[in-house]
Structure 1
Amino acid sequence: MYVVGLTGGIGSGKSAASARFEALGISAVDADVIAREVVQPGTPALDAITSHFGNDILQDDGTLDRAALRKIIFQSETDKHWLESLLHPLIGEETLRQLAAAQSPYVLFISPLLVESGQKALCQRLLVIDVPEEMQVERTMARDTNERSQVERIIASQARREDRLAQADDVICNDGGLEALHDAVDQLHQHYLTLASTHAQLH
């Protein structure tokens, strides 16, 4: 299986890019979706999180209040490490299962932490969706109604823009409109089909 990793900072447009790849018939495995799946009500992971942080991190329907949890872990490095040591192995196991099950010519693996988490090792190619940092901040504030200071903390906790770009095989600069993004994805899609075909012949 030929895996293209898709990453970028918060607010860069990863979701819009991945939606275009999926519209072209490409299977997508999303680390954020998997991260939500492993903490559904009734899972051992959510039970452990509730025991550690208390019921205040649950919403009224029993699901995890991700915003409340995010606030806690961005204020405590110890709590952040505890949570990561619990969730990362579970997310990794489910990621491998979903990648192996994909049926398209290549598979897209979407993760905001591809570069800094070591998940890049799962990929044959790395695509970075890039935007200037001020645009990142503005988009994220508009989308999530977060305060600027919290958005800037999230950006600071992710890989530096320069580090992501240094490791990228391909870069889409997403500072234009949706049509420009789609055109860029369409071009890369053809390139990835060729790379995946060559990869399949060699393995």
Structure 2
Amino acid sequence: MRIGLTGGIGSGKSTVAGFLREAGAAVVDTDAISRQLTLPGGAAMPAIASSFGPDFVTADGALDRDRMRALAFSDPAAKRQLEAILHPLISAEAARQADAATAPLIVFDVPLLVESGRWRARVARVLVVDCSTETQTERVLQRPGWTPERVAGALAAQTTRQARRAAADAVLLNEGVSLVALRNEVLGLAARWGCGTIALP
């Protein structure tokens, strides 16, 4: 079975992805693919340099992520231009990784699954990791380099909590629960979806 995993920034999606790996699922991380594409020598870098200019390329040939993030948050046209470069490359690599996987459950970890509009038809289920925007903000502010303004921009760039929940086949509420309880819920869900390789305590 192929499922899509998504959640807002700071929701704990990466933690849930780790528990799914523990259960035996193959996780295709589209954020990691995006980073690989924009490293020095990455497949997306020639088109990014051509479209946005040398100011968006670091001295070693990688994408200047902070500069591009600021532009994308402030300029919707630039955001669409970047997505037009990255999304086909991400989709192709995600498909390659999924086709090579032998696990009974393949999880596509896609931060903007709902926003993209393209992923729903590719997966049998959508799993949303959910928490309040206040909790999201508190968690993200603990990360190095994040300011309240930057967090607000990131939240504004994502769809609403209500829209994600409406698109979900299953919702994990990651707020006011322990990691043990969250892990047990994830492993139980994985077992129901055909990937129960670990016994619950």
Whichever residue aligns with residue 132 of structure 1, its letter is S
1:72-91 to structure 2, matched below 5 A, reads: 72-91=71-90
Distance 2:58 2:41 in 1: 14
Equivalent residues of 2:28, 2:98 under 8 A apart: yes
Distance 1:119 1:67 in 2: 26
Equivalent residues of 2:5, 2:109 under 8 A apart: yes
Deviations for 1:40-87, whole angstroms, at most 9, x for unmatched residues? 322342122123333333334332221221011111111111111111
- Which residue of 2 is the match for residue 122 of structure 1? 122
Structure 1's 44 and 5: CA in aligned 2 closer, same or farther, altered over 3 A?
Answer: closer
TM-score (norm 1): 0.89
Distance 1:194 1:25 in 2: 6
- Which residue of 2 is the match for residue 100 of structure 1? 99
- Which residue of 1 is the match for residue 24 of structure 2? 25
Whichever residue aligns with residue 188 of structure 2, its letter is Q
Structure 1's 144 and 52: CA in aligned 2 closer, same or farther, altered over 3 A?
Answer: farther
Which stretch of the first structure deviates more once superposed, 107-116 or 172-181?
Answer: 172-181
After superposing on structure 2, the runs of 4+ consecutive aligned residues of structure 1 that deviate more than 6 Å are none
- Which residue of 2 is the match for residue 62 of structure 1? 61
Distance 2:43 2:188 in 1: 43
- Which residue of 1 is the match for residue 163 of structure 2? 163
Q: Deviation at 1:167?
A: 1.2
Structure 1's 44 and 33: CA in aligned 2 closer, same or farther, altered over 3 A?
Answer: closer
Distance 1:101 1:9 in 2: 28
1:149 aligns with 2:149: yes
- Which residue of 2 is the match for residue 135 of structure 1? 135
- Which residue of 2 is the match for residue 52 of structure 1? 51
1:35 aligns with 2:39: no
Number of matched residues? 194
Question: Secondary structure of the equivalent of 1:171?
Answer: strand
Distance 2:4 2:42 in 1: 28
Distance 2:90 2:188 in 1: 31
The share of aligned pairs that are identical, in percent, is 41
- Which residue of 1 is the match for residue 179 of structure 2? 178
Q: Deviation at 1:39?
A: 2.2
Return 5+ residue gaps in structure 2 as ranges. Answer: 197-201
TM-score (norm 2): 0.90
- Which residue of 1 is the match for residue 199 of structure 2? none
- Which residue of 2 is the match for residue 191 of structure 1? 192
Distance 2:15 2:144 in 1: 16
The alignment yields a C-alpha RMSD, in angstroms, of 1.7
